[in-house]
Structure 1
């Protein structure tokens, strides 16, 4: 009888799904950490947690925002987005008065992932960036059964989103692919003519004070711009020499018409190329499309978008003075390395009503979210 009871208890422990946690039971990260992994298998590796913590420290130390990653097994019957929003506002992720927090929340057994953005970084351009990070970086990694890669890519993408937000770049234009086209012109490459082209979404930045009045219109323009970009990319082409319709080659066949640097850009996801082939003339055109927030920069030597940037804080920003960071760009194509230093703004003093648990901890800064961000599943 005792052996039977032991078997039943073991079956219940190992054969039943993990019980969902509650918002109230999720512990705040320990001081100096910005990640929480409550999965039974401890999915996140120490190396990835350290990378996320470094990214989050870089943002917080410069006063740009706060980034947290939380992974649980399941939220049970509670929708994952509702759970993540409640957790965000319970902790108050972000600095008070700026609402510059971002939460990457994963319900691993439920196969659900959420991005929650603070109200200060929830403009249309931020939403587009969040959708891109979710669709192009996080979900594909989960589908490859690489949860640590998904968290690493998601955290890097959200760090870039916060850094590039209008909140931290007042008056700046929205990100576009224009920087990818500097000084480029059509190049002849054997029988293939390379036409460097890109269609940028409309500029949503505005210096006018009534931002709320134009927010809806900017969102519509952004959607129209993305739809227009897709249509222009796939519209039929004809060969100028013979008038025959060109055929768009698939990803496997178009590699033969790309040089090694271009193939490297495609493998990294920083740039996508289309090859339109004329069978009659045996001639093709290569069209270039830069991707938003790919996480890679243009290499100063080979000029391909294959450089990965990492930053190191040389002097932390305080409430009295700005800081300084060292940015290292290492090209994954030609191995060229460049190093530069940049000044960072002073930190913004939190309001007296904000909570204060630890000066350098991942405790809340009084931020709030109304639910902006993105959802994904795999």
Structure 2
């Protein structure tokens, strides 16, 4: 009897595993990494406008955002929540950079009158409330009026704002003045994770410095003055936002020290010729047959040209031109 129970349990586990596998296989495949309008809510000109903006965001910031519409969830997912469906779709496609996991998906299910903002693991759950306010106050009213195109642009505004300052919550729009309870929660969150790293970096940049030559006190030059001490390549890096330079000058011997701080999020490539972080890339269309695409890169400083092939491994969970990122289920849901 005991052997029979074990065999029965093993069979049930096998059935459960097969069901999960079938569900994953039922998910739609992406047409492209930007706008997958399966529900045909947008005109072709609207799709192209959004696609152009998403390409720019990805090129300038390295941020992968995808917009997805469906009339209804896939067949095997009809009885399951939009939250679990969005997470599964996000991870199946591999939205976002594999190392940073900072991708974002906006999913609209027309028949269910539901939408979901799905965030990559990088953002953590501390941003769910901010995304919920974006959903409730900006997007749902537009969804209710079927203003899909306008809603998607509003969503991109919020996503760009989130990505500019991932270490701190987005500004809170309040109808009744400051929300005092955020002081406690926000303060606790600011001492952990990415916020702690930001604080440490700022502390290192702002702490008093001694001259390495005469041990005298040094002062940090202002942005409009420090460019005089930077070469053209360093100035180009600052203009592209790939590296920020602090210039310190000794008050006694006029010794100058230049300290670089590389940006945490930048799409600029390192040029193999001049070694500056000034390479601007343009990608060729994704080729399913080749399993990837080419990046054609031009250094904005020395004008050196080079290219490299970017391969997407299906075993890594990426498809349709995405970078292999994943989500832990964070985000926000809206209904109308």
Q: Return the TM-score normalized by structure 1.
A: 0.45
> Does residue 377 of the first structure (1) align with residue 326 of the second (2)?
no
Q: Residue 314 of structure 1: CA displacement?
A: 12
Which of 161, 178, 187 is matched with 1:199 structurally? 178
Q: Residue 108 of structure 1: CA displacement?
A: 0.7
For 2:312 and 2:191, the matched residues in 1 are separated by 27
For 1:139 and 1:177, the matched residues in 2 are separated by 17
Tell me the alpha carbon deviations over residues 293-348 of structure 1, each in whole angstroms, 9 at most, x when there is no partner.
xxxxxxxxxxxxxxxxxxxx999933212579xxxxxxxxxxxxxxxxxx9xxxxx
- What is the aligned length? 202
What does residue 55 of structure 1 align with?
A: 53
What does residue 164 of structure 2 align with?
A: 163
| 1:66–1:101 Cα contact (<8 Å) kept | yes
Q: Residue 162 of structure 1: CA displacement?
A: 2.2
Q: Residue 38 of structure 1: CA displacement?
A: 1.3
Tell me the alpha carbon deviations over residues 278-305 of structure 1, each in whole angstroms, 9 at most, x when there is no partner.
xxxxxxxxxxxxxxxxxxxxxxxxxxxx
| 1:34–1:362 Cα contact (<8 Å) kept | no
Q: Residue 175 of structure 1: CA displacement?
A: 4.1
Backbone CA RMSD of aligned residues: 4.0
For 1:210 and 1:202, the matched residues in 2 are separated by 15
Give ranges in structure 2 of 5+ residues lacking alignment. 1-22, 197-239, 243-265, 271-276, 281-299, 301-309
Q: Residue 373 of structure 1: CA displacement?
A: 0.3
What does residue 86 of structure 1 align with?
A: 88
| 2:162–2:170 Cα contact (<8 Å) kept | no
For 1:121 and 1:80, the matched residues in 2 are separated by 20
For 2:159 and 2:190, the matched residues in 1 are separated by 27
For 1:207 and 1:143, the matched residues in 2 are separated by 34
Q: Secondary structure at the match of 2:183?
A: coil
Q: 1:322 to 1:133 in 2, by over 3 A?
A: farther
For 1:23 and 1:152, the matched residues in 2 are separated by 31
What does residue 14 of structure 1 align with?
A: none
Q: 1:136 to 1:177 in 2, by over 3 A?
A: closer
Q: Secondary structure at the match of 2:69?
A: strand
Q: 1:121 to 1:370 in 2, by over 3 A?
A: same
| 2:34–2:66 Cα contact (<8 Å) kept | yes
What does residue 131 of structure 2 align with?
A: 130
For 1:34 and 1:101, the matched residues in 2 are separated by 12
Q: 1:60 to 1:145 in 2, by over 3 A?
A: closer
For 2:139 and 2:269, the matched residues in 1 are separated by 34
For 1:73 and 1:174, the matched residues in 2 are separated by 33
| 1:65–1:100 Cα contact (<8 Å) kept | yes
Give ranges in structure 1 of 5+ residues lacking alignment. 1-20, 167-172, 179-196, 215-312, 325-342, 344-351
Q: Secondary structure at the match of 2:134?
A: helix
> Does residue 319 of the first structure (1) align with residue 269 of the second (2)?
yes
| 1:118–1:370 Cα contact (<8 Å) kept | yes
What does residue 222 of structure 2 align with?
A: none
Q: Secondary structure at the match of 2:68?
A: strand
For 1:73 and 1:353, the matched residues in 2 are separated by 32
